[in-house]
A and B are shown apart, each in its own frame.
Chain A
Amino acid sequence: MSIQHWWRRVALGLLFFVAAAGSDLAGAAGSPALKIIAVNYPLAYFAERLAGARARVVLPVPAGADPAFWRPDARTVGTMQKADLILLNGAGYEKWLSQVSLPRLKLANTSLGFQDTYLRIENAVVHSHGPGGLHSHEGLAFTTWLDFEQAGKQAQAVADAIVRKHPEWKSIVLENLETLRGELAELDAELKQTVAADPRRPFLASHPIYQYLARRYGLNLKSVHWEPEEMPPAAEWQGLQSMLKDHPARRMIWEAQPAPEIAAKLKDMEIESVVFAPCANRPEDGDFLEVMKRNVDALKAAFRQEKRANSVISKNPNP
Chain B
Amino acid sequence: MQHDFYLAWRYLRHNKARSLILIVCLGVIIALPLALHRVLDEAERRMSARAEATPLLVGARGSAADLVLNALYFTESPAFIGMGEVDRIAATGWADPLPVYARFRVRGLPLVGVTMDYFEFRDLALAEGDLPALLGDCVLGAEAGRRLRLAPGDTLPTTPENVFDLAGVHPLKLNVTGILAKTHTPDDQAVFVDLQTAWVIEGLGHGHETNPRAGRADSPFAPASGDGVAYTEITPDNLASFHFHGDPAGFPISAVIAVPRDARASALLRGRYLDDDARTQIVRPSEVTRSLLQNIFRIGALFDAILLPLGIAALLMTVLVFALSLRLRQREIETIHLIGCSPMTVIRLVAAEIVLIACSAGALGWVLLQAVGVGAAEFVRHFVIA
B-binding residues in A (CB < 8 A): 71, 74-75, 77-78, 81, 96, 98-106, 125, 127-130, 132, 135, 137
Distance (whole angstroms) from the CB of A135 to the closest CB of chain B: 7
Is A78 a contact partner of B96 (Cβ separation < 8 A)?
A: no
Closest to B205 in A: A98
Is A71 within 8 A of B240, CB to CB? yes
Cα separation A125 to B216 with both chains bound (whole Å): 9
User: In the docked arrangement, what's the CA distance between A132 and B205, Å?
Assistant: 13
Q: Once the chains are docked, how many angstroms separate the CA of A5 from the CA of B291?
A: 60
CB pair A105–B117 under 8 Å, yes or no, is yes
Contact at A98–B244, with CB atoms within 8 Å?
A: yes
Which of A71, A99, A105 contacts B96, CB < 8 Å? A105
Q: Which residues of A contact B217 (CB under 8 A)?
A: 127
Please state if B135 and A104 are interface contacts (CB–CB under 8 Å). no
Going nearest first, the 5 A-B pairs with the smallest beta carbon separation are A77-B133, A101-B194, A103-B116, A74-B133, A129-B220
Judged by a CB distance under 8 angstroms, whether B381 is at the interface is no
Main secondary structure of the interface of A (DSSP, over half): mixed
User: Which residues of chain B are within 8 angstroms of A105 by Cβ–Cβ distance?
Assistant: 96, 98, 115, 117
B134, B205, B216, B218: which has the most chain A beta carbons within 10 Å? B134
Task: Enumerate chain B residues within 8 angstroms of A71, measured Cβ to Cβ.
Answer: 240
B135 and A99 within 8 A (CB): yes
Distance (Å) between the CB of B131 and the closest chain A CB? 6
Select from chain A the residue with minimum beta-carbon distance to B208: A129
Further pairs besides A81-B131, A129-B219: 6, Cβ < 8 Å: A99-B242, A101-B133, A127-B208, A127-B216, A129-B208, A130-B206
Note all chain A residues with C-beta closer than 8 A to B220. Answer: 129-130
Interface string of B124-139 (1 = CB under 8 A from A): 0000001111110100
> Which residues of B, 226-241, contact A by the 8 Å Cβ criterion?
239-240
Chain A CB within 8 A of B243 CB: yes
9 A–B pairs (Cβ distance < 8 Å), ordered by A: A99-B196, A100-B135, A101-B137, A101-B197, A125-B216, A128-B218, A129-B208, A130-B206, A135-B245
B window 219-276: CB within 8 A of A: 219-220, 239-240, 242-245
Nearest A residue to B220 by beta-carbon distance? A129
Give min CB distance, B250 to chain A, whole Å: 15
Q: A81-B116, A101-B194, A106-B117 are in contact. Are A137 and B133 (CB under 8 A)?
A: no
Q: How far is the CA of A104 from the CA of B245 in the complex (A)?
A: 20
Task: Report the number of A-B residue pairs with Cβ-Cβ less than 8 Å.
Answer: 72
Distance (whole angstroms) from the CB of A121 to the closest CB of chain B: 16
Closest to B245 in A: A132
Q: For B120, what are the chain A residues with a Cβ–Cβ distance below 8 Å?
A: 103
Is B218 a contact partner of A127 (Cβ separation < 8 A)?
A: yes
Q: Contacts A129-B208, A129-B220 given: A81-B133 contact, CB under 8 Å?
A: yes
Contact B243 A74 (CB under 8 A): no
**Residues on the A chain within 8 Å of B96, using CB:** 105
Q: How far is the CA of A100 from the CA of B115 in the complex (A)?
A: 11
Residue of A nearest to B135 (CB): A99
- Give complex CA distance A261, B338 in Å: 134
Tell me how far the C-beta of B175 lies from the nearest C-beta in chain A, rounded to whole angstroms: 10
- CB <8 Å contact, B116 and A98: no
Minimal beta-carbon separation of B221 from chain A (angstroms): 9
Cβ–Cβ < 8 Å partners of A81 in chain B = 116, 131, 133
Q: With contacts A135-B245, A137-B243 known, is A101 near B132, CB below 8 A? A: yes
List chain B residues, Cβ under 8 A from A104. Answer: 86, 115-117
CB distance from B296 to the nearest CB of A (A): 34
Nearest A residue to B119, CB-CB:
A103
Question: Distance in Å from the Cβ of A10 to the closest Cβ of chain B?
Answer: 35
Residues B243 and A100 in contact, CB atoms below 8 Å apart: no
Nearest A residue (CB) for B246: A132
Which of A96, A99, A129, A130 is the most central at the interface, judged by chain B CB atoms within 10 Å of its CB?
A99
Assembled-state Cα–Cα distance A104/B96 (Å): 10
Contact between B131 and A101, CB atoms less than 8 A apart = yes
A100 vs B220: C-alpha distance when bound (angstroms): 20
B244 partner residues in chain A, CB cutoff 8 A: 98
Residues of chain A lying within 8 A (CB to CB) of residue B243? 98, 137
When C-beta atoms are compared, the residue in chain B nearest to A101 turns out to be: B194
* Closest-CB distance, B227 to chain A (whole angstroms): 26
Which of A101, A103, A127 neighbours the largest number of chain B CB atoms within 10 Å of its CB?
A: A101
Closest-by-CB residue of A relative to B236 is A73
Do residues B134 and A99 form an inter-chain contact, with CB atoms below 8 A? yes
Distance in angstroms between the alpha carbons of A56 and B218 in the assembled complex: 43
Interface string of B179-197 (1 = CB under 8 A from A): 0000000000000001011
Which chain B residues lie closer than 8 Å to A96 at the CB level?
240
Task: Name the CB-closest residue of B to A72.
Answer: B133
Q: In the assembly, what is the distance between CA of A102 and CA of B132, in Å? A: 9
The answer to whether B115 touches A99, judged by C-beta atoms less than 8 angstroms apart, is no
- Centre residue among A77, A104, A128, A135 by max chain B CB count within 10 A: A104
Bound: A77/B239 CA distance, A? 14
CB distance from A113 to the nearest CB of B (A): 12
A102–B116 touching, CB < 8 Å: yes
B130, B196, B218: which contacts A98 (Cβ < 8 A)? B196
